[in-house]
Structure 1
Amino acid sequence: MRKLALRSLMAHKLRLALSGLAVVLGVAFVAGTLVFTDTLSRTFTALFESTTADVNVTAASAFDAQGPGMASGVLLPESLVDEVAGVDGVAAVAGYVQSEGVYVIGPDGKVVATGGAPGVGVGWNTDENLGMTLSDGRAPRADDEVVLDETTAEKTGYGVGDRVDVLTPGPRVEATVVGILRFGESGGLAGASLTAFEHTAAQELLARPGTVHGLSVEAADGLDDAVVAERIEEALGTGYDVTTRTEEVEAQKELLEGQLSFINIFLMVFAGVALFVGSFIILNTFAMLVAQRTRELALLRALGAGRGQVTRVVLAEALVLGFLGSTVGLFAGLGIASGLRAAFGTMGLTLDGGLVIQLTTVVASYVIGVLVTLAAAYRPARRAAKVAPVAALRDDQAMPERSLRHRAVGGSMLLLAGGAGLVAGLVQDDTTTAAALVGGGSLALLVAAIVLGPVLAGPFVRGVGAVLPRVYGPAGRLARDNALRNPRRSAATASALMVGATLVSAFSIIGASADESIGTTVDETLQADFIVSTSVGQPFSPAIAEEMRKIDGLSSVGVSRLASAQLDGEVSTFMAADEVTMAESMVLAMVDGEPTGGMLADTATAEDRGWEIGDIVQAVGVDGSERGITLVGTFEANPAVGPIVVPLEDVEQLGGDALDRWLFLEMADGADTGAVRDAAEAVLVDYPVVTVKDQAEFTQEQQAQVGQILMLINAMLVLSVLIAVLGIVNTLALSVMERTREVGLLRAVGMSRRQLRRAVRLEAVLIALFGATLGLVLGVAFGTSLVSVMEGQGISELAVPTVRLGGLVVIAGVVGVLAAVWPARRASRMPVLEAIATA
């Protein structure tokens, strides 16, 4: 039986290729995702391992504001270096200064793009444990000298001796490049840029004179890092975090995994979609193949093969197909991983070295590809086993078809369950629970549509296809009848496209609603004439606000920051705003109390934490400083400000970085708008990453950020549409093979090649329109329901892009035409006599 399965596959190589392509695409995306994320992890892990000292000493913060291994903002006195140097077992120790927000200005006057990766400034240190080695020039010795990393130097063309402008969290610095540094063994910084200053200059710019961010310690030869760390802890006492290289690297890796987990989840979701859609193609393919081989399988039964043997023949074919598809998919996944690496590289995340291929990736690729193929082929295999031996004696034997009654009952029950889930989600107050109910209900509706597909296909094809005979004559009638001949096949083919159409339409609604919500929120919340900020959310120097206040024509300049603190024992990240911002620039829908004079919280947060107007909330900063802040008001949830707003003067007493995020400029009465804007832009000449925008421009900037995410999502969803197109091509091609004799008879009685091609195309269009229409209905239900429950997450307005959704149906029709090109051409070129003679 194994030989029979292999011979059957090899006898139909084209059929094998069409069937296996669905497996290849699904597995390729899974393998590509796993390889890319492993490569991503390896890049950063190697960076951590090559740049972490044997022992690291930092100030203990009151809470972990930024995550393990990241600077807390609490500084150490540099005199601590001598104290640690005297500890037994310490071979060398150096204090380091490092801070983000340092960017090089290129020769074109623009900031050297990092694509979102940080721009880091450090104090030059000769300790190689910090990973910095000179590849050209010398170390900086004066305040106006810097060393650039190799990648930044290559991007800008700067070399030793060139003058360069550098942005820092404080002032803009003009300096001479005196050296080029290599960071770590590979020289890669994963897209970030690194600028090294002379040590005391770095303290002035990035910390405070006489302070450092931490100490890097080299253990003496033969001593375990843990032993040296323990001795340092004993010498220093409390108030310090002392970690070994292993502990620090593990902490960094744990943080990295948490930060990058969304990438893995995001990519794996779409890999799952690809496999889910591909399973319909495999199921449809094997169902048709079994139907075409009815007589062959019946002959096997007549020769004594049992039902189990026939089932195993079909499953053996599926096993071979799954193995071959997984093998090709694994290699194709390397190409996808390379493409992902290049795409993320353009956004600043540069991954150095080759791709990482782990055994788990190989195993997962084969397991997933083979299991999906076997699962999809199981039902057709069971049907094949039910072929009666007497069928071998008949020419018109068809596979037994079960009634659609069970599908109608089961699908209706799923439909009711899905509808109940959506309704329950819409009336649920808790956003997380509501989203889960809507997601579960939507999934139930999707499965219901798949189950009910054959039941719905008949009425749809009859209704939409009624116009085809009138417009296209016999070709239109033949197309309609062929689509009606096997509603299960038509529905299974359309299901692949339906899944893609559902997701595309749902995300189109979410995207349009997000755009509308951003515009509404900005209009209703911000009253400022101009907003000063960076497009990537980076903080900037408070000196900008001071300069803005000197501009004639401005009545006020409001300042807002992001800050972290423990509020009543719970770590919180919130907006810190001054009195001007809350009194003049922002409008909140107050539920109780006043918008100024103390801390504000939205009603949900106040209720969750048990806060009432007049309560004093105990705040603890990263440096351990404490302060009681009075809650003076509650407001309706507003995504523009977040759940909590704390007065800026209170936050300044809690430590942390004093860097602004947004400035709100109010025009004085009668001031010239153009002149004020020109003056504001003149202030920002020395800060190219900071821009001034009116409300419309600020709204567009926020919408563009959401649009980039949705564009990436829709680009990934194109994969499911491409697989759906493959499904239509596959089904039509096999359908033409199945109807070879019928095609020959049609040609013999006078049907032209053109009419035959048209019939195949129209059949494809009917199937595509059915899938797209069903997907559109489901997508609208899913998208509108999800928007309704996401009001507390910032999407408060529902917008249905009717033109875009209508275009989706038109595109589906075009997809049907394109998918039918090759099958239609193949059908029209069949030799008439050979087709008629086909058994």
Structure 2
Amino acid sequence: MIRAFRANARDHRASVLVSALSSAFGVALLACTNVLGAYIEASPMGEHGSARFALGLVAGIFFVIAVFVGAIVTTNTFATVIAGRTRTIALMRLLGSSAKAQRRSVAGEGLAVGVVGALIGGVIAVVLALVAVRAFIWWGVLPDTLYPVITPALIAPPVVVVLTTWAASWIGSRRVLTVAPVEALGAAQERPVAAVRSTGRIVAAGLLILPGAALLGFGLALGLGLFARSADSTLVEFGRYGVLIAMLGGLLSFTGVIVAAPLFLPAVLRGVGLLFGAGAAGRLAAANAVRNPERSSRTAIGLVIGVTLITMFVVATQTWLTLIRSAAAKDPELYQGAESVLTVVMLVFSGLVGFSAVIAAVGVVNSLSLSVLQRRRELGLLRALGLSAAQVRRMILAESAQLTVAAVFSGLVLGTLYGWIGAQTLLGQLPGGGLVPPAIPWLFIGLIVVAAAVLAVGASVAPTRRATRVAPVEALAVE
């Protein structure tokens, strides 16, 4: 395991970073929850148990989201790495190694990645949490008292990250089982379209999306108190847990979207690509999305995750604030001191959600970089057929642009839906609350779009330059 990890350490830099960020997020989240819990208990809102309960739910949801995002990014990273190692794996098969042995080796690398990343991230998070608490006290944001920053529960996030990283590497390495020894004679390549658009994928996506959507609807109904007058006392009792049911539905449905991505994203990317003109670079960029559906969807889904995550948070936060302010206007005494507490909570969680955004961003950059570098032979063939280095760079830029448009649109729609449902299920039953429309901060949404475009385009510049600097004859050579 350690030997394989050291031999392929360069491939796993991004995965180690993702594991470290996920672990740091979980540790920091638990530490901040302890601090905010103590702060709320000392405030006027501490008399209402719902505030502490809501805080615990939000913290748990954020941690699950971080682990989920980290697992998806790690799975995509390992799948991309395996696509580039196809010829090496096939050569090992040709020399007598079994597919299961090769997959165990890759999973061992995943375990090592998880252990290294989780330890680094956990230690850094503990130090930063201690420093942040003292800084908030010094700035006057928090009152000067003793806060329970470090507790035994902080061990849980690194352990969870190690296990999920290991599992994600195992899932991401499933491509190993389909590599035939004869592929050692050719170059590394993605699976054909027919193998990607299989009946099994369609069924799996449906089994995730349909129950997920049903749970989202049921959780929303519970959160809004639609069963409050029901004769079934069980439904009334579970009303406050509607957000957990909705979260499970969100995870299931979004996982289904990820599974189904190779079925619909390439067509969306191609349609967007056709808008960039009829030149050779634009036509090739549009055709590549359909020719390699697994590669294009794997690259795009990282950006979809990032945009969905950030949009979900800002919409949920704005809707949450709208709900509480509306309720406070109807009953000011009940919500006395709510604004100051909300300010602190939003400040802390705004920083914490940045961890998940960075995790998704790392996945986008890594997937784009690996994808371009692994296409050296393809780019060399285009150069040999007459395309100039500038035209190849324009093709990659067009691919990045179409990826950005398709992913941002998908992420905005999904993020707005999930964020609104999350806010409603969490606080829909507050006294004076109720059903409100999604509160969309358009300035924030504009910044998300710009940031996604800069990230996607910027991430492809450096690897494209490296790939196009290689002479066409050298790029075409089978390594």
Q: TM-score range by the shorter chain?
A: 0.7 to 0.9
Given that 1:35 and 1:337 are in contact with CA atoms closer than 8 Å, whether structure 2 keeps it comes out as yes
Find out whether 1:461 has 2:458 as its counterpart: no
Task: Give the TM-score taking structure 1 as reference length.
Answer: 0.47
CA distance in 2: counterparts of 1:116 and 1:786, whole angstroms: 21
In the TM superposition, what is the alpha-carbon distance from 1:419 to its structure 2 partner? 3.2
Higher strand proportion (structure 1 or 2): 1
**Alignment match, 2:357:** 721
Given that 1:281 and 1:493 are in contact with CA atoms closer than 8 Å, whether structure 2 keeps it comes out as no
Task: Please tell me the residue identity of whatever aligns with 1:460.
Answer: V
Given that 2:316 and 2:423 are in contact with CA atoms closer than 8 Å, whether structure 1 keeps it comes out as yes
Find out whether 1:817 has 2:457 as its counterpart: yes
Find out whether 1:25 has 2:8 as its counterpart: no
In the TM superposition, what is the alpha-carbon distance from 1:509 to its structure 2 partner? 3.4
In the TM superposition, what is the alpha-carbon distance from 1:279 to its structure 2 partner? 1.6
Please give the residue correspondences for 1:376-455 in structure 2 after superposition, counting only pairs within 5 Å.
376-395=168-187, 399=191, 401-425=195-219, 428-430=226-228, 431-432=239-240, 434-455=242-263
Tell which structure's C-alpha radius of gyration is larger.
1
Find out whether 1:826 has 2:460 as its counterpart: no
Find out whether 1:6 has 2:10 as its counterpart: no
In the TM superposition, what is the alpha-carbon distance from 1:22 to its structure 2 partner? 1.1
CA distance in 1: counterparts of 2:154 and 2:70, whole angstroms: 20
CA change 1:366–1:830 in 2 (3 A) is farther
Match of 1:730 among 366, 384, 404: 366
Q: Larger deviation: 324-333 or 16-25?
A: 324-333
Given that 1:761 and 1:816 are in contact with CA atoms closer than 8 Å, whether structure 2 keeps it comes out as no
Q: Larger deviation: 504-513 or 724-733?
A: 504-513
Find out whether 1:506 has 2:312 as its counterpart: yes
In the TM superposition, what is the alpha-carbon distance from 1:316 to its structure 2 partner? 2.0
Match of 2:405 among 762, 769, 773: 769
CA distance in 1: counterparts of 2:150 and 2:340, whole angstroms: 33
Given that 2:295 and 2:371 are in contact with CA atoms closer than 8 Å, whether structure 1 keeps it comes out as no
1:502-548 CA-partner distances (Å, limit 9, x unpaired)? 343334334444555566667xx6xxxxxxxxxxxxxxxxxxxxxxx
In the TM superposition, what is the alpha-carbon distance from 1:707 to its structure 2 partner? 5.5
The structure, 1 or 2, with the larger RCO (C-alpha pairs under 8 Å, 6+ apart) is 2
CA change 1:292–1:497 in 2 (3 A) is closer
Given that 2:273 and 2:399 are in contact with CA atoms closer than 8 Å, whether structure 1 keeps it comes out as no
Given that 2:261 and 2:301 are in contact with CA atoms closer than 8 Å, whether structure 1 keeps it comes out as yes
Task: Please tell me the residue identity of whatever aligns with 2:178.
Answer: K
CA change 1:708–1:486 in 2 (3 A) is farther
**Alignment match, 1:798:** 437
CA distance in 1: counterparts of 2:282 and 2:417, whole angstroms: 33
Please give the residue correspondences for 1:566-585 in structure 2 after superposition, counting only pairs within 5 Å.
none
**Alignment match, 1:744:** 380
In the TM superposition, what is the alpha-carbon distance from 1:750 to its structure 2 partner? 4.5
CA distance in 1: counterparts of 2:130 and 2:363, whole angstroms: 27
CA change 1:711–1:312 in 2 (3 A) is same
Given that 2:202 and 2:260 are in contact with CA atoms closer than 8 Å, whether structure 1 keeps it comes out as yes
Please give the residue correspondences for 1:472-621 in structure 2 after superposition, counting only pairs within 5 Å.
473-517=279-323
Given that 1:478 and 1:759 are in contact with CA atoms closer than 8 Å, whether structure 2 keeps it comes out as yes
1:343-382 CA-partner distances (Å, limit 9, x unpaired)? 5433225577998586x745x4553333122111113434
Given that 1:417 and 1:444 are in contact with CA atoms closer than 8 Å, whether structure 2 keeps it comes out as yes
Gaps of at least 5 residues in structure 1 are 45-114, 120-254, 526-637, 644-660, 662-700
In the TM superposition, what is the alpha-carbon distance from 1:737 to its structure 2 partner? 2.3
In the TM superposition, what is the alpha-carbon distance from 1:392 to its structure 2 partner? 2.3
CA change 1:795–1:746 in 2 (3 A) is farther
Task: Please tell me the residue identity of whatever aligns with 1:725.
Answer: A
1:403-456 CA-partner distances (Å, limit 9, x unpaired)? 333222332343333333344455533353654554444333322222222222
**Alignment match, 1:684:** none
CA distance in 2: counterparts of 1:435 and 1:262, whole angstroms: 10
In the TM superposition, what is the alpha-carbon distance from 1:464 to its structure 2 partner? 1.3
Secondary structure of 1:467's counterpart equals helix
Secondary structure of 2:142's counterpart equals coil
**Alignment match, 1:163:** none
Given that 2:190 and 2:295 are in contact with CA atoms closer than 8 Å, whether structure 1 keeps it comes out as no
In the TM superposition, what is the alpha-carbon distance from 1:805 to its structure 2 partner? 6.9
Gaps of at least 5 residues in structure 2 are 229-238
Task: Please tell me the residue identity of whatever aligns with 2:262.
Answer: P
Identity across the alignment (%): 31
In the TM superposition, what is the alpha-carbon distance from 1:728 to its structure 2 partner? 1.4
**Alignment match, 1:759:** 395
Find out whether 1:302 has 2:94 as its counterpart: yes
Given that 1:404 and 1:455 are in contact with CA atoms closer than 8 Å, whether structure 2 keeps it comes out as no
CA distance in 2: counterparts of 1:274 and 1:311, whole angstroms: 26
In the TM superposition, what is the alpha-carbon distance from 1:722 to its structure 2 partner? 1.7
CA change 1:818–1:489 in 2 (3 A) is same
CA distance in 1: counterparts of 2:145 and 2:464, whole angstroms: 46
Please give the residue correspondences for 1:48-67 in structure 2 after superposition, counting only pairs within 5 Å.
none
Number of paired residues?
A: 452
CA change 1:782–1:13 in 2 (3 A) is closer
Higher helix proportion (structure 1 or 2): 2
CA distance in 2: counterparts of 1:477 and 1:390, whole angstroms: 33
CA distance in 2: counterparts of 1:815 and 1:501, whole angstroms: 11
Task: Please tell me the residue identity of whatever aligns with 2:260.
Answer: L
CA RMSD of aligned residues (A): 4.0
CA distance in 2: counterparts of 1:307 and 1:356, whole angstroms: 44
CA change 1:639–1:499 in 2 (3 A) is farther
